[in-house]
Amino acid sequence: MALNKKRSKKTTKNIAKGKWRSLSTRQKTRLVALIVGVVLIGIGVNAVRKWYKIQHAGVPAGHTVATVSTDEPSEQLPPKNYSVPADKPLSIQLPTIKTKGFIQQVGVDKDNKMVVPSNVNMAGWYTKGALPGNAGLSIIDGHVHGLYAKGIFYNLAKIKAGDAFTVTFGDKSVRKFKVKQVQTVSTKEADTALYVRDKTISKQL
């Protein structure tokens, strides 16, 4: 039986080769184009599904703290009535680079690293640091871009020393800040650079 199966497979293979050889160049070209087209359609469908998933991945609740970073953050726009507790930062406004957006609360992940926002349109306030405007070091991070859309800090490279910006809290109070220094660091250096405290600034953000 095993021998017959082997012969059957070999015969089928030979028949397939024979049919392929019998095709004209034009027919072969059409067949290859059809196969490539089917493959591309499959890839396209998967790409659309991924895009749709990211566009509708949701917006974090204002009272929760993110503890997991993702390589595919949501690109869904937060609702205009997004809210947070009264004593927590709600939004950040950087008028000189035409940037504004809501703020998500972020903590640390299982590796004790600061989590990045789960939505590219939102900044992230590090809850283990000081509140923006309070004594100590306050940290706000965010995405430059997502897989398909620009992130909240897409224009951050344009900011300059002396630029003014504000942070609005849940109770609608506003705290004002001014950029003292602009520094660019590599991704590897970012984890360390974020926690550097300038002792000449009592309320550092």
Q: CA nearest 114: which of 66, 147, 57?
A: 66
The CATH topology of domain 65-204 is Sortase; Chain: A; (2.40.260)
Give the integer Cα–Cα distance in Å for 129 and 136. 8
pLDDT at 1 > cutoff 50: no
Structure confidence at residue 130 (pLDDT): 93
Confidence at residue 11, expressed as pLDDT on a 0 to 100 scale: 47
Q: Please provide the distance, in angstroms rounded to a whole number, between the alpha carbons at the two ends of the chain.
A: 77
Q: What is the rounded CA–CA span in Å between residue 10 and residue 13?
A: 5
Delimit the domains of the chain by residue range. 2-55, 65-204
Look at residue 104 in the predicted model and tell me its pLDDT.
93
DSSP three-state, residue 66: strand
The pTM score is 0.72
User: What mean pLDDT comes out for the span 174-199?
Assistant: 83
pLDDT score of 175 more than 60: yes
**Span 14-73, pLDDT tens digits:** 445 566 567 677 665 665 565 655 554 555 555 555 444 555 556 677 688 888 888 888
Backbone torsions φ then ψ of 3, nearest 5 degrees: -65, -40
Q: What is the pLDDT of residues 123-139, one digit of tens each?
A: 999 999 999 999 999 99
Q: How does pLDDT run across 134-160, given as a tens digit for each residue?
A: 999 999 999 998 877 899 999 999 999
